[in-house]
Every structure is written in structure tokens, then in C-alpha cells.
Amino acid sequence: MTGLPPPGAPLGHYVSDAPFDPLAAERAAEAAPAVAATQGQVMWWKFRRHRLAVISGLFLIAMYLVVAFAEFLAPSTVDTRNVERIYAPPQALHLFDKGQFVGPFVYGRDMTLDLDTLRRVYTDDTSRVEPLRFFCHGAAYRMWGLIPADLHLFCPANGGELFLLGSDRLGRDVLSRIIHGARISLTIGILGVTMSFALGLILGGIAGYHGGWIDLVIQRVIEVLQSIPTIPLWMALAAIMPVTWSPIVVYAGITVILGLLDWTGLARAVRSKLLALREEDYVLAAQIMGARPRRIIARHLIPGFMSHLIASATLTIPGMILGETALSFLGLGLRPPVTSWGILLTEARNVSTLALYPWLLLPAVPVVLVILAFNFLGDGLRDAADPLR
């Protein structure tokens, strides 16, 4: 093989004299191992590359496990009150006492009433070491509202107390309330999305499949719903629910409201995907081979856009969680004694309360984390939905 001329020298007519094999590309393709990965596997590989999405997914799984076993994980029940410990600040968790390893423990606390400011002052008493007990019997509860039990993952020492995240104005443990509140806050998003998913699939499917005037009407309705600011509309619908309704019905009502106004984005996605996929070659091929419309829809179209849909549905969950939190925070959504993160945050609504007892704002932390996690997970799923791009 003659090499290239040195840089700067004129380049003559150049033909590589390496042996030429016109079938090299085909041979190489045949020699390479046949790729036998299924669509799902390819998606999984792609998804795994999005590190943040994987971490978020694991975090969310952990959160939903917390939801499932809230009673067991919370050191106390939702409404156990300790009248002696009103507005107690968070207790620090220690491992070593005077240079000796004791395991996780908290110091005992004394409360005095400051008569000048009329505030309760809590001081740690370092002589009293109160180690945590694990898998212990504590406050009685009914698991999932059915099975009576009293086993907790950890509870305060016998005769001791444990307020890792402080207590509220009734002396209830904020940590336990956050854990229990997750149950409402996290399920409402999932249920709402399930509903808007069904609505979006049906209405978007009809619009995309039929076309014509039905499509026109549905498109119009979507535009109208999208042009109204959601939160005021949610507020209005939530305010309509009578005060006399039981908490469960209100919960269902909020879910319906969130779902009813949220399907527009999904319906649009379904419609445009249907229109795009209908033109794909493989659909034409299936038609030519004599497949019936039902088979084409079920076998070719739905798998084609389902992954996209799930990804975009994931991205709408945070909006719903936020919606419930905002509504409850404003006093229009769920009401006590139901506990959700929004309801916990209503305690922090007053600035002067907040300035004195800042730990009441702690329920905001899981809200922000969960929203971030759903966003990352949705991003990852969206990338994975199109694994070959």
C-alpha cells in the first residue's frame, strides 16, 4: 500500500491497493452474533444507563414500601398525643455516650415553662441515656386497618420518649405523621394518574382512530381545559364537595378531580402517536398480510406507544401529588383527621409559628424529594421508550 504524501505536498490520484472484497460488509454482519435481545431487554439496558433514573426508581420503590408498612415503620401512631411534649424540637440521635459505644440512643429531656415568653423550653439531660429498642412492642395499631398489632421497627426506651423530627402543637410525633401521611399523598397521585390514563387512552384513541368531527370536538375540549389555569379550577371543584362527606369519599373525590382535568396531555400524546404509527411500514405490512384492525391495534399499535404513554404518565404524577398537597394546604382538599403531607404543612402556614417551630416545615422534604424522583424516573423512562434512537 502506498502511503499518503507528506503534509503540504500535492496529493496525486490516490487508489488504495488493499485487496477489495465487495461482500465484506455482508460477511461481517453474518459473522457477528445475532442480536437476540427483546425490545424489553433493550429498553432495560437503555434505562440502566440513566443512573439518576435508576436511583430515583429505587427511592420510589422504597417510598411505596414505606406506604405499605407505615404502621410498622412509624415509631408511634398518627394521633398518639403526649401532652407533656407540645412543640418539642427534634431530638438528636447519638451513637456514643462519653466515648463509649451504646448504639443509637437519645438523651432524656426536661421541659420547663419560660414564664417570660410563655414558651416551653426543652433541655437535654445527658445523664439519662435512652437507647432505642428495635422490633419492639409499642403503641397498638391495626395493620392496614384490619389486623391488630403493636410491633414497631423501633420505639423509644421504656419510659423514654422519641421525637426524631419534633412534635406538633398537640404533642404528636412529626416523623410518624410524615410516614402515615405518605400513604394518602403517594397513592392519590397513582390513582389519579390511573384515571387520567384511562380517560386519555379512550378519548385520545377515539379522536385519533375516528378523526373527522369527533376528533375536532375532542381537540377543542382539550384546548379549553388546557387554557384554564389548573390550580384555581381544582380549587373550585374541591370546594364544591360538601363538608359532610366522609374522608374516604373526599379522598375519592379529590382523585377524580385530579384525574378529570389531567387527561388532556395524555390524550394528545395518544392521538398524535396513533396518527403517526398508522403510517408506519409495519402496519401496512400487517394490513397487506390480512390482519384485522383489532389485531393491528392490539398487536402493533398499542405496544408501539404504550412505553411512551407510561413515561409521560410518570411525568404527570408529580403534578398530581403537588395538586393534592396544595389543595389540602389551602384547606380545600382533605381535612383532618385524615393525614397527608399537605395537611401536615397547614400547621406551618403561620409565619410566626414557623419562626418558632421550624421543624413543622419538614414534611416539605419528602414532597420535594418524591417530585424530583418522579421527574428523573420519567425522564429515564422516556429515553428508554425509544431504545434504538
Partner 1 sequence: MIRYILWRLAVMVPTLILISMLVFTIIKLPPGDYFESYVQEMRALGETADLQEIEEMKARYGFDKPVPVQYLHWVGGMLHGDFGYSFEYRMPVSEVVGDRMWLTVLVSMATIIVTWVIAFPIGIYSATHQYSWGDYGLTFVGLLGLAIPNFLLALIMMYFANIWFGISIGHLMDRAYLNQPMSWDKAKSILEHLWIPVLIIGTGGTAGMVRRLRSNLLDELEKPYVVTARAKGLAPGRVLMKYPLRMALNFFISDIGSILPQVVSGAEITAIVLSLETTGPLLIRALQGQDMYLAGSFLMFLAFLTVIGVLISDIALALLDPRIRLEGRAAK
The nearest distance, CB 358 to partner 1, in angstroms, is 7
* Dist. CA 236–CA 116, nearest whole Å: 45
- Output 80 or 340, the one with its CB closest to partner 1: 340
Closest separation in Å from C-beta 326 to partner 1: 6
Shortest Å distance, C-beta 27 to partner 1 = 33
Distance in Å, CB of 313 to partner 1, minimum: 18
| Shortest Å distance, C-beta 355 to partner 1 | 5
Conformational region of residue 159, where left means phi above 0, alpha means psi within -120 to 50, and beta covers everything else: left
Q: Which is nearer to partner 1, 175 or 367 (CB)?
A: 367
Closest distance between partner 1 and the C-beta of residue 379, in Å?
Answer: 10
Min CB(17)–partner 1 separation in Å: 32
Identify the CA nearest to 257 among candidates 319, 344, 167.
319
Q: Checking DSSP bridges between strand 100-114 and strand 94-97, what pairing results, if any? A: antiparallel
Measured from the CB atom, the residue of 272 and 375 that comes closer to partner 1 is 375
Q: Which is nearer to partner 1, 103 or 336 (CB)?
A: 336
Q: Pick between residue 12 and residue 242 the one whose CB is nearest to partner 1.
A: 242
Nearer to partner 1, 156 or 259 (CB): 259
CA angle 49, 50, 56 (to 5 degrees): 130
Question: Residue 164 corresponds to which cell in the numbers above?
Answer: 426524631
DSSP character string of 235-284: HHHHHHS-TTS-HHHHHHHHHHHHHHTTHHHHHHHHHHHHHHHHTSHHHH
Nearer to partner 1, 51 or 299 (CB): 51
Taking the C-alpha atoms of residue 223 and residue 205, their distance in angstroms, rounded to an integer, is: 17
**Pairwise CA distance, residues 318 & 188, whole Å:** 11
Distance from chain centroid for Cα 51: 17
Alpha carbons within 13 angstroms on the beta-carbon side of residue 50 total 22
φ, ψ for residue 114, nearest 5 deg: -75, 110
d(CA 321, CA 318): 5
Q: Please state the closest distance from residue 328 (CB atom) to partner 1, in A.
A: 11
**Choice between 304 and 333, CB closer to partner 1:** 333
Name the site residues for partner 1 (rule: CB under 8 A): 220-221, 223-224, 226-233, 235-237, 239-240, 242, 318, 322, 325-326, 329-332, 345, 348-349, 351-352, 354-355, 358, 361, 364, 367-368, 371-372, 375
Nearest distance in Å: CB 348, partner 1: 6
- Which residue, 309 or 345, is less far from partner 1 as judged by CB? 345
Coil/strand/helix, residue 119: strand
User: How many separate helices (H) and strands (E) can be counted in the chain?
Assistant: 15, 5
The residue assigned the cell 382538599 is: 333
224: DSSP letter: H
